[in-house]
Structure 1
Amino acid sequence: MTSQVSNAATDKISPNLPLTDEQAQLVAHIMAFTEREIVNPGPAIFTIYGDAGTGKSVVLAHLFAQIQAAARTDTTTPLAGTENYFLVNHPEILKVYKKIAGSQAHLFKKDFQRPTSLINQIAQGKKQADVLVIDEAHLLLSQADHYNNFYGSNQLTSLLQTTKVIILVFDETQVLRMKSFWTEARLEKLLAPYRQETYRLTHQFRMQASDELVAWINAFSHGQLRPLPHNVGSSYDLRIFTDAEQMRQAIVKRNSAVGLSRIVSTSGYPSTLDGGHHYIQEGRFRMPWDQYNYTSTPWAELPQTINEVGSIYTCQGFDLNYVGLILGPPVSLNAHNQLQVNLDRYTDVEAFKHRADLTDPTELTAVKKQLILNSINVLMKRGVHGLYIFAHDERLGRYLAQD
């Protein structure tokens, strides 16, 4: 994509962005798939696989804009008059898409929904859906969640029962909670009975970093710690800090210069959804966790959030220009210089809610550890132009800081 610095989240996934040849061909291929399958008994599914930053959302933005233009303006297409929706199970990302809709001729804000809302409206006979485009499908609930008014067993299963065509993007390394626990194998098993096609995006667009650094992050998020590569990319800024306050000051400078630069952190610090302020403290550094964002503006675009610490729940799916990451107590370095995941130090109690289909203690432990590593993967890949890291564990910090 482009290497220019942007200070608006909508600039990162707008359907006005230019596509690469590969992306344009993929959009055209999925449009042909959709027009072919919409006239057949449903459902048919097109799955796009890809790691964080591989351009999945940009492809979907272009695709949905074309689908809605065809549905609303072209009487010669099989899509004419169809009722179609774009779903994402993340309130902050949904705000970005709704903001984009306001500037596009054939996109309406009502086209963009959270899955539970659409599922319940379809069940009540208030809506129907012909084509669904699902961003961040790895966030779909895979068990009931009464807190979010979902009473089915699996959101994707519910949607498959009511729709003709579904296009979704999926990345198992961004699964963060038990209630939305997925793997590629689980997804493939669920979709096996249906007509489907798949495509895998591999090129990293978000991070202006070297392939070596991206590979290092991927290894880290699978529990493998290696020395940091010397080549991180000529236009990418990687820094390791042993003082969290110094890192904060560096991010504040970046934010003043180019915007969209924020401090984020893993779990492992006091945090309760009670409306109060809960602080992360590391030496001289003391800042509150992000607060629930009731505005229509994404969290990272609110000026005051430079004084908050972002979490996976405010940052997942977003492009920041520079990100300062606090690796909290759940991850450390053991005496053998191996990465260690400490389940007892993870404070996000919602992440590990019980699942009846995970009964083997060994498997359950492995899944929980991978969810923590997935959260680190998500946070490390937020920065387009730079990643700054501070580790709570001193041994890990020293290891990362070694030349």
Structure 2
Amino acid sequence: MSDSIDSPIIIDLPYEEGGKKYDEDIFARALQTETHQKTGQVESSNVTEYHLRILLHYPAVYVIHAEESHSQRSEPEYCVYVGETNDISQRTYEHLYNDPQNRDDWRLFNNHGNMSQYVITHPYFNKSLTLDIENQLMLYMSSVDHVSLPVNKRVNPQRDYYTHDRFKRIFSDIWLDLHRKNPSLFPAEGIILDSALFKASPFHKLSDEQLEAENIILSEIFAALHLESPDQIATDKTNPADSHLILVQGAAGTGKTVLLSHLFYRLLTQTLPEEDAPLIHSPASAWKSDDKHQDGDHASQRNLIPKEDISAYILVNHDEQIHVYNQIATKLGLQNRSGTVVLKPTEFLNRHSRKNDRHRALLNEPIDKADVLLVDEAHLLLTQGNRAYSGKSQLFDLLNRAKVVVAVFDPNQILQSSQRLSPKIQKLLSPADDSAANPSNNGNDDEPSRIQLDDYNNAKPLTVDVSHIRLQQQFRIDASPEVIAWLDAFTDEGIIGELPADCHEHAWHADDSVDTRSKPYDIRVFDSPVDLFDAIKKKAEIKADGCDGKGLSRLLATYDWEYTSKHKNANDPSGHWNVELHQDGTGTWRMGLGGGDGTDNTSHDRCFCQPWNYQLTDPHSHRKGLNKDQAWAEKPYTINEVGSTYTIQGFDLNYAGVIIGPSVQYQDGKVMFHPENSKNKNATNSRKDLGDFAEENLKDELNVLLKRGVHGLYLFAVNPQLQQRLMDVYEASKND
């Protein structure tokens, strides 16, 4: 009986019972049906009685789903509600008969046809574990392309509790069982884990550092919004600032995007405390969910501002990431269609500016000031104009159109000269004391610093209160501090030291049958780009199934080979712009396909030629239901392309293969950058007002590429000296 006891109990419960309350017989019939379908046998009365007692008297998680047909898709779409309760019988009755009378969202939800409900429980379930299971189900379901979650707005992950060490395995078993029952609604776990939607979902459980940062940000948003209210202005003795800027800084992989996504979801789905509410100390202490009929009261009941009073937008100047945010916001009901609350900065500025006679935005004349702007990848904001943007500083123009701007910023990920800040502005935006920017040091208890931003484009100067948050915990790179320090020295200081063994104590969850300890971070150096590509393709074939799976892997390269979207490559039969290398007679890899020097450019082992990102077309594009907004790395056919910072910045890969082109070399014991070998004109162009940033931009490009891999980094360098140095430290590490 132990296997049955230790397994989740999942039944497909009828959702309509003719108006009567759900009684024990209904659950007993559903349980018998489930057992017969799974085993072909009728369960013994003792086991049935035991399982029935757990179903009726233990906490439970449930998934109500309504199937919707769609003429443009080959598979059904689903509208889903995920909840948890201490009394599944009473809760189901309330959803069926009480909620539709009191709530418009439930009235619409119950109008769907083909509704059904999975009820999930387990002998280990307690209140905290069910809340975590509920949250993880919302995380997974929000990552499924054809699922929308427009009703349940609660985000309530738990901290430590008695059965927390069992959570990971129990959830994986639950998902596997659900997948077997309905693979369309519950895809394989590997598909979920490889999804960019999953990695940017607002349902991730925040770390203590992220949680503290979010609470500080919410407190400052609360204070700034109240300063703008008419009664506050009348009594305030100081002059309010024009805007409030909260800079969230952190290196690649420190969880900035997850924090921003979580914050955005809370702003648009939960309510804000009034002035006399207590300082926010946890996600539930001063925030109230929309679900007024939930079992537990996880929020303060007093003095709440309706969320409809808060206008919030999320902005990002990156084509791949804008797709991901639009998908999340649309499927969670935060916007009815793409481009409503998720926008590129230029789009937002154009919408919030008066227009001239030719319908061009007048950036000096802002309209419709927003409450909160959340800017991801703020280091990609423009600091000079282009064809679409006529201003001189997108940050200035955004501050001129919002009461609060929360900007996620990493100065080591600025990739173009048009994104560089002037030394004066950089100094103004930098924290006076770097240690005070760390939330764990409680440095944000001090008052924000007030700065004056100079006149841009003949606009009125702005008075801005600036606060700083710094994230330090590494989430992306699953490696020891020594390995991370090695990568930092490589990218930040140009030093390639001895490659340390990854011997840190990985976090793991003891389990009766599963050991989920992480493997050492896998850094390898390859003799050829061909071998590197083959290794990445093998890693990409590994599915990410299970609670500790690994999957998505892609090849990347520095922008040292020609590429343009304006026309096709006349020198390639397919018109593709390619990353091309060949091995000469001495065994050295050279740029291009060769042939003119007598080398054999037809040999697979001695020639490498793969197209850049966005060159290939999807061979299955004719199939209905194709997700056009998938991130580049998620599309299966892109395994045969080479990614760049344009497609991979801000995203994770399980294994990243990087071809380091000739713009990066090794001279006199140090990594050096050669802009003349780069094809990235946006990085190498100098500016009349600020000068030349080519080397800094190429350094940041390398930093972005080398820090994409969660579990491993595979390398090949075109520069012989750099390749030799990397190979030397790699070979030495294998002998330790």
TM-score (norm. length: structure 2) = 0.51
Partner in structure 2 of residue 287 of structure 1: 610
Give the corresponding residue for 2:54.
none
* Larger displacement relative to structure 2 (101-110 or 152-161): 101-110
- Give the superposition deviation at 1:40: 2.0
Deviation for aligned residue 1:395: 1.6
Find 2:209's aligned residue among 22, 36, 48: 22
Q: Tell me how far 1:145 sits from its aligned partner.
A: 1.3
Q: For 1:357 and 1:78, how far apart are their aligned partners in 2?
A: 46
Q: Are the equivalent residues in 2 in contact too, given 1:53–1:381 (CA < 8 A)?
A: yes
Letter of the 2:613 counterpart: D
Q: 1:261 aligns with which of 553, 575, 591?
A: 553
346 and 59 in structure 1: CA distance in 2 versus 1, 3 angstrom threshold: same
Cα distance in 2 between the residues matched to 1:374 and 1:113: 25
Q: Deviations over 1:215-256 (max 9, x none)?
A: 222222234222242223543111111211011011001111
CA shift, 1:69, in A, is 1.2
Tell me the residue number matched to 1:192: 451
Task: Please give the secondary structure, in 2, of the residue aligned with 1:263.
Answer: strand
Partners of 2:426 and 2:351 lie apart in 1 by 25
CA deviation digits over 1:93-127, x for unaligned, max 9?
11111122233244554211100000011013785
Amino acid at match of 2:341: D
Could you tell me which residue of structure 2 aligns to residue 236 of structure 1?
521
Query: 1:98-247 maps to which residues of 2 (within 5 A)?
Result: 98-106=326-334, 109=338, 110-124=340-354, 128-146=369-387, 149-182=388-421, 186-189=425-428, 192-193=451-452, 194-232=464-502, 234-247=519-532
State the alpha-carbon separation in 2 of the partners of residues 265 and 291 from structure 1. Answer: 14
Q: What secondary structure sits across from 2:249 in the alignment?
A: strand
Offset at residue 20 of structure 1 (A): 1.0
Could you tell which deviates more after superposition, 74-83 or 261-270? Answer: 74-83
Partner of 2:359: none
Give the Cα–Cα distance (whole angstroms) in 1 for the partners of residues 226 and 306 of structure 2. Answer: 7
Contact kept? 1:240, 1:390, Cα under 8 Å: yes
Is the partner of 1:257 in helix, strand or coil?
Answer: coil
Match for 1:229: what amino acid?
L
Contact 2:494 2:670 survives alignment (8 Å): yes
**Match for residue 63 of structure 1 among 237, 240, 263:** 263
Instruction: Check 1:350–1:376 CA distance in 2 against 1; reply closer, same or farther (3 A cut).
Output: same
Shift in Å, 1:150: 0.4
User: By how many angstroms is 1:88 displaced?
Assistant: 0.4
Q: Percent identity?
A: 34
Q: 1:352: how far off?
A: 2.8
Question: Unaligned stretches of 5+ in structure 2?
Answer: 1-167, 169-188, 229-241, 273-288, 291-302, 356-366, 430-449, 453-463, 504-518, 544-550, 569-575, 583-606, 618-627
**Matching residue of 2:275:** none
1: distance between equivalents of 2:474 and 2:467?
Answer: 22
Change (3 A) 1:34 1:339: same
How many angstroms apart in 2 are the aligned matches of 1:103 and 1:9? 14
Matched with 2:251 is 51
Which residue number corresponds to residue 669 of structure 2?
337
- Displacement of 1:67: 0.6
For residues 244 and 305 of structure 1, the distance between their equivalents in structure 2, rounded to whole angstroms, comes to 17
2:703 paired with 1:377: yes
Question: Alpha-carbon deviations, 1:238-294, whole Å to 9, x = none?
Answer: 111121101101100111113421000002112223242111122322101111799
TM-superposed deviation, 1:211 = 1.5
Rounded to whole Å, the distance in 2 between the matches of 1:228 and 1:272 is 38
Residues 120/34 of structure 1: CA separation in 2 closer, same or farther (3 Å cut): same
Q: 1:308 aligned to 2:641?
A: yes
Q: For residues 111-151 of structure 1, give each alpha carbon's deviation from its aligned partner in whole angstroms, at most 9, with x where no partner exists.
A: 111000000110137854221001010000011111xx100
Q: Secondary structure at the match of 1:85?
A: strand
SS at match of 1:370: helix
Aligned-pair RMSD on alpha carbons?
A: 2.4
Q: Is the 8 A contact 1:68 1:107 kept in 2?
A: no
Letter in 2 for 1:28: N
2:654 match: 321
Preserved CA contact (<8 Å) 1:38 1:79? no
Q: Which residue of 1 aligns with 2:305?
A: 77
Q: Secondary structure at the match of 2:270?
A: helix
Check whether the contact 1:43–1:165 (CA below 8 A) recurs between aligned residues.
yes
- Tell me whether 344-353 or 149-158 shows the greater mean CA deviation: 344-353
Distance 1:142 1:212 in 2: 36
- CA–CA distance in structure 1, aligned partners of residues 305 and 485 of structure 2: 43
What is the number of equivalent residue pairs in this alignment? 392
The partner residue of 2:536 within 251, 270, 282 is 251
Instruction: Supply the distance in 2 between the matched residues of 1:198 and 1:103 (Cα, whole angstroms).
Output: 32
Question: What SS class does the counterpart of residue 324 from structure 1 fall into?
Answer: strand
1:388 and 2:714 aligned: yes
Long gaps (5+) in structure 1:
none
Q: Does the 8 Å contact 2:675/2:694 carry over to 1?
A: yes
